[in-house]
Structure 1
Amino acid sequence: MTAPPAAQKTVPGHVLTRWVFLRLLGVVYLCAFASLWPQVRGLIGSHGILPAGEYLAAVRAQAGTAGYSLAPTLAWLDASDLGLELLCGAGTLLSLLLIAGVLPLPTLALLWGLYLSLVNIGQDFLSFQWDALLLEAGFLAILFAPGGVLPRPVTEAPPSRAALWLLRWLLLRLMFQSGVVKLASGDTAWRSLTALAYHYETQPLPTPLAWLMFQLPLWFQKLSTGAVLAVELIAPWLILGPRRLRLIAAGLLAALQLLILLTGNYAFFNLLTLALCVLLLDDDALRRLLPPRLRPRWAEPERRPDPPRWRRWVIGPAAALLLGMSLLRLSADLGVPNPWPQALAWQEPLHLVNGYGLFAVMTTSRPEVFVEGSDDGRTWRTYRFRYQPQDVGRAPRWVAPYQPRLDWQMWFAALGSPDQSPWFRAFLLRLLQGSP
C-alpha cells in the first residue's frame, strides 16, 4: 500500500489582519481629526495664528496657477473658519465609518484627501512626523483595503500582498531611520548611552510615569538607551525574515511603542505605529490572541473569492513606483546622493513617501518660554498653557492621543531663537488683539 500524500501546509492569510489594521487606522484618523477640530480656528482660522486663507493667497501670488499643485487642498474652495471646521467634521464622521467597516475603500480615499487638505495648509502646526506618517500609511491603506459596502472577513478576497509589504516596508523605514539618525547626528548623549537620563524630563509633554522613570539609576538609563537603539536598528530588519522572525519583530517594536506611550504624550504616533505592527501578524497569530470561544467565528473558510482583476493591474504598477521612490528617499536620508531628485520632488505635496527620525539630538536641558500680559503695564501675569509642564509644582498630565499643537510648538520655540519660530510673533499679536 502506498502512503497517503502528505497534507500541504497552507500559508496563513491576512484578511483578519487587514480587518484589525483598518479599524485601528480608523481610530487614528478619528484622533487626528477630532483633536484638530477644536483647535483649527485658533491655529489657522481667519483670525488664527497662521491663517490658512492668507497662506493660500501668498502661494497663489508667488506661484500662480501652479500653486494648486504645490499645495493640493480642498481649502482652495473655502478657507473660511466654517470651511476648516467642515473638513475636520467630515473627517471625524468618515473615521467612524471606517471603524464600523462601511465602504472602506472610498472612505479611506476621502479620509486621505481630507487630511492632506489640512496638512497642506497647517504650516508649522501640522508639520509633525506623525502627520506625514498618517498620510503615507493612509495612502497605502487605500491599496490594501477591500471593496464592497460592508465587507466581512469570512467572505472577503485576500488582500494585495504588494500593498501588505509596502506597509511593512513603511514600518521598517520608520523604525530603522529613527535609530540611524540618533547615531548619525554624532550626539554624545546617544553615543554614551545617557540619552534617556535626560529624555523623560526634557521631552515636550511628559506623562506622570515619566517622573518615575527619571528617578531610576544611571545604569538602568544606559541599559534602556542601549535597548532602544538595538530595537530600532536591528528589529526592523527581522520584518524581512520568515514568519517567526516577523513575530519577534512585532513583539519588540510594539513593546517599545507601549513604553513610549506610557512615558510621553506623542499624539496618535504610538497608536499608528502599533497599528503598523499588527501587519506583522498573520491571521493564525491573531486567532491565537482571541478567547477560544471566539476563534470558530473567525475561522478561515475553505475557499475565498479571487480578487478582482483590475486590482492587479492598478496595485502592481503603483506598488513598484512607491517602492522605487521609498528606496530613493531612504538612500538620500542615509547620505547617498540622489541622481534623480525630480523623482521625489513631484510627490512631496502629496506626502506619499517621507523621511523619518525623532530625537536625533537629545535635549539635555529644559528651557521654557513664559508669556506674560498686563492691563496696566505694571502688574504682569503669566499666560498658563494647559498642557505644558511649566509649573514644577504640578504633575504632568495624560494628553495623548489628543495633541495640543500650540503647546507642542512652544517646546520647539524654547529651543531656538525667535527667528526660528516666526509663528510666535503672530501668536503674540493675536494675544494683543484678544483673538481666541
Structure 2
Amino acid sequence: MAWFTDSGYALGRLLFQRGLAALYLVAFLVAAHQFRALIGERGLLPVPRFTARVPFRDSPSVFHLHYTDRFFALWSWSGAALSAALLAGVGDLVPLWASILLWAALWVLYLSIVNVGQTWYAFGWESLLLETGFLAVFLGNDEVAPPVLVLWLLRWLLFRVEFGAGMIKMRGDSCWRDLTALYYHHETQPMPGPLSWFFHHLPRPLHRIETAANHVAQLVLPFLLFTPQPVATWAAAALVATQLWLVLSGNFAWLNWLTILLALSVVQLPGIYERRLPDAPLWFTVLVCAAAALIAVLSWRPARNLLSSHQRMNASFDPLHLVNTYGAFGSVTRVRQEVVLEGTTDEVVTPTTEWREYGFKGKPTALKRLPRQFAPYHLRLDWLMWFAALSPSYAAQWFPGFVAKLLENDPALLRLLRDNPFPDTPPARIRARLYTYEFTDWTELRAGAGWWKRRLIGDYLRPVSRRDL
C-alpha cells in the first residue's frame, strides 16, 4: 500500500495539525466567553428556544438532548482543553486509533455549538473550520505517513475556498471587474484593523494592482494546486502571501489563517524535515477510502454551485457541514454606515438631554480610536452590528433584545462591549442613530481629527424605555 501515503508531506501535516488545533482553541474560547449574552438561557437568541422549534435532524447537536448554561460552558472549555492538548502534540504521542478519536471528538464538540449558534454562527469560516476539522480526523499521526487521498481532499477544499471567492466576485459587483473594488473595501469592510487606514490611502493605481492580484490568486493559482511538485508548493506559497496581506488589512476571524493552513498542507520541501514514516495499516486505509468516497459524493452539489450563474456563497448542503460552498464580498459596500447606541438617565427626553455613547471593542464608534487587531479572535456582536447598519432586517431577531439588555445593564452583554457609560445605574432610555463613517485623510489626521469622521443620517431607533420594550 505504498501508493497510499507520502512521507514527503510530514512537515506540511505537522504545521497543518498544530495550526488547526490553535484555531480550534480560539474558536472554543470565543464560544466560552460570548455564549451567555448571545445564545445562553437569558441570551438574545436562547438555545432552548431554538431547539424547541428546530428538529435534531436539521441541526445535529448535543444541546438538543440537554442544555443549561453550565453545561454549555463545560462543553466549550472541554473543547478548549482538548485543542490545547493537540496543539501541544498529544495526537502524536498516542496510538493512531486514539489520535483519530481525539480529532473526531474535537469536531463533534464544535459541530454541536455551530448547529445551535443561529445567526451568530452563520459565517463561512464556521463551516470551513468544521469541514477542515473533519478531514483532519483522517490525516493520521506519527505512526503513519500522511495519506495522499486526504491531502488531495484538502487541496479540493482550498480550491473551493479560493475559486468560489473569485467567481462570486466576477459574477457579482462590477467594481471587481473594473478593478476599483479596493477604492472602497478597506474603509467599508465589516471590521477594519489597525493598518486599514493606511491601506485605504494607498495610491489608486496600487489598489487596482491589488484587485488584479486578487483575481490571479483566486482564479488562476487554485488550478496549480493540482499540478506536480514543486509547482503546487509554489502556488500554495503564493496563496499564503495573499492571505497574509488580508490578515494585515482587516479582521476576518480565522478565515485567512485557516486558508493559510490549508495551503501549508500542500507544501513539500525536500531536504527539510525529511522523515521516513510507516505505511498505513489496512484498517486505516479502508477508513480513509470510505471517508474520501463520502466526500466525493457530497462534493457534487458544491461543485455544481461553482459553475452556476446563481452561485450561492457560504452555504452548507448537509447539517454536518462536511462539504460546503464558500465565497466573500460578492458585493462591495461603497459607503460605510454605523449604528451608534446612546443612553440617557433622563426619563423625559428634551433638547437639552445628555446622551452618552456605548463603545464597542472592534467596530468603529469613537472617532479618535485606532481600529484594533482581534483576528483570529471573533467579535460576533461587532460583526452583526455591521450587518445591522446595512439593513434593520438583518438584526430584527436580536436587536430589540439587545437594547432591552442595555436598559437592564445586563452583565453578560456588557462584557461584550468596550465600555459602559452607565456603570452605576441603568439608563432610562436608549436610542440608536445611523451615521456614515469615513476615514480621515493625512491632513485631518495630523490636525488631530482622529482616524474617522462621521455624518448623521438620522434615527435608527427612536428613544425607548424599558416600558416601551
Q: TM-score category by the smaller chain?
A: 0.7 to 0.9
**1:290 alignment counterpart:** none
Q: Percent identity?
A: 40
> Which residue of the partner structure matches residue 402 of structure 2?
427
**Whole-Å separation in 1 of the counterparts to 2:303 and 2:391:** 28
Structure 2 unmatched runs, 5+: 92-98, 413-469
Residue 386 of structure 1, aligned match among 361, 364, 367: 361
- The CA deviation at 1:336 is 7.2
Counterpart Cα distance in 1 of 2:319 and 2:156: 21
2:231 is aligned, of 245, 258, 268, to 245
Instruction: Please state how far the C-alpha of 1:272 moved relative to its aligned partner.
Output: 0.9
Aligned equivalents of 1:323, 1:177: Cα separation in 2: 18
> Does 2:345 align with 1:350?
no
Q: Give the Å deviation of 1:337.
A: 9.4
CA offsets per residue over residues 356-394 of structure 1, 9 Å max, x none?
000110111100111222232333322211211122221
RMSD in angstroms over aligned alpha carbons?
A: 2.1
The verdict on how the C-alpha distance between 1:253 and 1:419 changes in structure 2, with shifts beyond 3 A counting, is: closer
Q: Which moved more, 1:31-40 or 1:128-137?
A: 31-40
Unaligned runs of 5+ in 1: 1-9, 60-66, 288-297, 339-343
Residue 184 of structure 1 aligns with an amino acid whose one-letter code is R
User: Using the alignment, how far apart are the partners of 1:105 and 1:319 within structure 2?
Assistant: 15
What is the rounded CA distance, in whole Å, between the counterparts of 1:328 and 1:58 in structure 2? 27
- The equivalent of 1:367 in structure 2 is 337
Deviates more, 1:321-330 or 1:112-121: 321-330
Q: Helix, strand or coil for the counterpart of 1:371?
A: strand
1:274 aligns with 2:263: no
1:263 partner amino acid: S
Q: Which has the higher strand share?
A: 2
Question: Higher helix proportion, which one?
Answer: 1
Structure-2 change in CA distance of 1:333 and 1:432 (3 Å) = farther
2:173 matches 1:191:
no
| 1:68 corresponds to which of 56, 65, 83 | 56
Cα distance in 1, alignment partners of residues 278 and 371 from structure 2: 52
In the TM superposition, 1:336-347 aligns within 5 A as none
Q: Per chain length, whose mean CA-contact separation is higher, i.e. which structure has more relative contact order (CA < 8 Å, sep 6+)?
A: 1
1:110-149 map, 5 Å: 110-146=105-141
CA displacement at 1:419 relative to structure 2? 5.7
2: distance between equivalents of 1:246 and 1:123?
Answer: 37
CA contact under 8 A between 2:149 and 2:289: conserved in structure 1?
yes
- 1:213 is aligned to 199
| Counterpart residue number, 1:63 | none
Match of 1:332 in 2: 305
What's the counterpart of residue 20 of structure 2? 25
| Greater than 6 Å deviation, 4+ residue runs | none
Work out the CA distance in 2 between the residues paired with 1:264 and 1:117.
Answer: 29
Q: How does 1:267-346 map to 2 (within 5 A)?
A: 267-282=253-268, 284=270, 287=272, 298-301=273-276, 304-335=277-308
For 1:401, the equivalent position in structure 2 comes to 376
Partner SS for 2:195: helix
Number of aligned pairs?
A: 392
**CA offset at residue 315 of structure 1?**
1.6
* Match of residue 261 from structure 1: 247
1:116-143 CA-partner distances (Å, limit 9, x unpaired):
0110111011111111100000001111
Q: Which residue of 2 aligns with 1:4?
A: none
* Aligned with residue 85 of structure 2, among 81, 97, 100: 97
Matched residues in 2 for 1:27 and 1:432: separation?
A: 37
Distance in 1, matches of 2:293 and 2:274, equals: 33
Distance across 1 between alignment mates of 2:41 and 2:247? 34
Larger CA deviation: 223-232 vs 10-19: 10-19
Q: Does 1:234 align with 2:225?
A: no
> For residues 408 and 315 of structure 1, do their structure 2 counterparts lie closer, same or farther at Cα, with a shift above 3 Å needed?
same
For the residues of structure 2 that align with 1:401 and 1:388, how far apart are their CA atoms?
A: 15
Contact 2:182 2:211 in 1 (8 A): yes
CA–CA separation in structure 1 for the residues paired with 2:168 and 2:280: 40
